[in-house]
Amino acid sequence: MTKARRRLRRVFRWALVVTAISFMAWIVPVRDRCWDPDAPISTRAPVSREASACVLHLRTGDVRIDASQCDRLRCEPGLSSTFGHARLGFLAALLVVYLASTGVAAARWRALLVFAGVDLPLLHLWRVWVEAQAGGVLLPGGIGGDALRIAAVIGRPVRPGEARAPAAIVVASALLDRVVGLSLIATIGAVLGTLSGGVGAGPLIAALFAIPIGFVAGLLVLRRAPVERVGWLTEGRVGRIVVPVLAYVRDPRAPGAIARAAALSVVVAVANIGIVRGFLVALGVAPTQERWVYVGTVMAFIVSAVPALPGAWGTAEAAYVFFFGLAGVGAPVALATSLLSRLFWYISGFIGAILYVTRPAAESVAGQPGGSA
């Protein structure tokens, strides 16, 4: 890639993040916005609440009114009051579900590794998973975390005294794990969107259904197409990568492993979508168009996986604000939902960072590409 193209991609990324954050800053109020329903002209003004009064932040200056006048105002909540009314106990229960789902996600990846001979303990793969979560906070999209997962497993002995994990197999398993996860969460989101009344969200629901259909079709092509007849794909440097990946995908045990991974992915997808829906319960909000909650949640997950911005900052929040707005959820609540989702991710990443720095030095070196056991 030339320097000019790299510079253009960097400019595009920053333009994207500035646009997304500007959109949120414009549409999401931090303070409550209130207005007098009896006034001839409805003018919304940010409001700060005190024990016995309210302060209206007007363009002409701040105006303090007493509690009785404040009670007559009609208000839409801002971000600060949205968090202030959150049910902390319910959020703690959702966090437990989220952390448990990381173990199921690690088991899904292990199912795609074991049949190819990379038989690593589930606890080790879970540790690699949450450590990669820590790095994914700073790297672009979900792909950055996948790269860290791959780097932690490549070159590591499968069992003490045995051969190291083949690079092509580890890469193929991580990519297949990502696609299986994306396909199942798209499927679950599309099904829930349809069952809750898909009218109006039809085109997006169809697009979500197209993801698993495309995955199955692509997998069938890889398993059956005569790729070996294409010389440049199976020879030289490219062949050293393609041939092991094709052998991995065409292994007779692969369909069973993918089916097991898909079953585990259903659990992960239901947990992740359920957690986001639970955030609305914890914040005391009931959407008027339930289908957009499920469709919007999946779209936010897809946007987060795109390797465009570090940690998908800005774009994921904008997706929540836009789609949840269609669900009848105010922008402050939508942003609060996104921030809670990010908080759970950061807590998982913090646990991963702690596990990484406490890992024995010899084990840390062994986990790196080319490191010694």
Q: Which sign does the torsion angle of CA 19, 319, 283, 265 carry?
A: negative
Is the pLDDT confidence value at 97 over 90? yes
Q: What is the pLDDT of residue 365?
A: 38
322-337 tens-digit pLDDT: 899 899 888 778 888 8
User: Sheet of 32-35: strands edge to edge?
Assistant: 61-66, 53-58, 45-49, 32-35, 74-76
Say if residue 343's pLDDT is above 70: yes
Identify whether the C-beta of residue 173 lies closer than 8 Å to the C-beta of residue 186.
no
pLDDT value of position 137? 63
> What per-residue confidence (pLDDT) applies to 367?
41
> Tell me, what's the pLDDT at 40?
54
CB atoms within 10 A of CB 99: 14
Mean pLDDT along residues 119-132: 88
In the numeric block, the tokens 């495309």 are attached to: 214
Average pLDDT for 341-357: 82
Give yes or no for a contact between 133 and 345, defined as CB atoms under 8 angstroms apart.
yes
> pLDDT, tens digit, for every residue of 133-188?
876 665 555 556 777 788 878 766 665 555 566 777 888 888 899 899 999 999 99
Residue 23, φ and ψ in degrees, nearest 5: -60, -45
Domains of the chain, residue spans:
33-77, 88-366
Which amino acid appears at position 185 of this protein?
Answer: I
What tokens does 52 get? 């016995």
* pLDDT the model gives residue 66: 78
Please tell me the predicted confidence (pLDDT) of residue 168.
78
Q: Which of 31-35, 173-177, 282-286 has the lowest mean pLDDT?
A: 31-35
Residue 368, pLDDT score? 38
pLDDT at 314 over 70: no
pLDDT value at residue 157: 62
- Mean pLDDT estimate for the chain: 78
Report d(CA 279, CA 262) in Å as an integer: 26
Q: Residue 275's pLDDT band (boundaries 50, 70, 90)?
A: very high
